[in-house]
Amino acid sequence: MASVVLFHSVLGLRPVELAAAERLRVAGHSVAAPDLYDGAIADTIDDGMKLMEDIGWDRICQRARAALSGLPASTVLVGFSMGCGVVASVWPERPETRGVLLLHAPADVPAGMNLKGLRAQLHVGERDDFWTPEDLRRWQMAAELAGMAAELFVYPGAGHFYTDPSLADYQVLAADQTWQRVLRFLDEA
């Protein structure tokens, strides 16, 4: 089974991320879900952005690195929305990772790393206002040019955070399909 680290969204470590971590544990995986906001939670994206700015990106990434310090080098990196940016920040320091899972946001593909054959998945909603189809094509092209075994899944009719049952974007069918794909990915990691 895989070792996994799951980085939360801009809203903080909330029930959706904790439930995701538990879902992966029940499937037999070892999962760390660090609280990069030290207990703070936001109710809106605007409040989350302010919280992120108040804490500071460098400090958020330092907390992520501290959480990774005791995990195996092969740990799969998983991000929820803003957490994908955290993945992008720590990924270059984790050349032995077994995989990258990006939920609700692309992450920059690191330059100068041997990524040939590295497995990655990007899961986004078709109606996500944060990412254009061109953004997604650029991510897919960068992954292909790096030699990654990357898959892009775009869920019809789904909005940005379609896996969170507490938000208006929630779409049960897309969320279920995402988790089926994520679990298959981790079973093969």
pLDDT tens for residues 78-118?
A: 999 999 999 999 999 999 999 999 999 999 999 888 999 99
Residues whose CB falls within 8 Å of the CB of residue 163, separated by 6 or more in sequence, listed in order = 16, 20, 80, 103, 104, 170, 174, 175, 178, 179
Number of domains in the chain: 1
How far apart are alpha carbons 6 and 4 in whole angstroms?
6
CATH number at residue 105: 3.40.50.1820
Place of tokens 């969320």: 175
Task: Specify the pTM.
Answer: 0.96
User: What range does the domain containing 15 cover?
Assistant: 3-187
Residue ranges of the chain whose pLDDT lies below 50: none
Average pLDDT over the chain reads 96
Q: Tell me what pLDDT residue 142 has.
A: 95
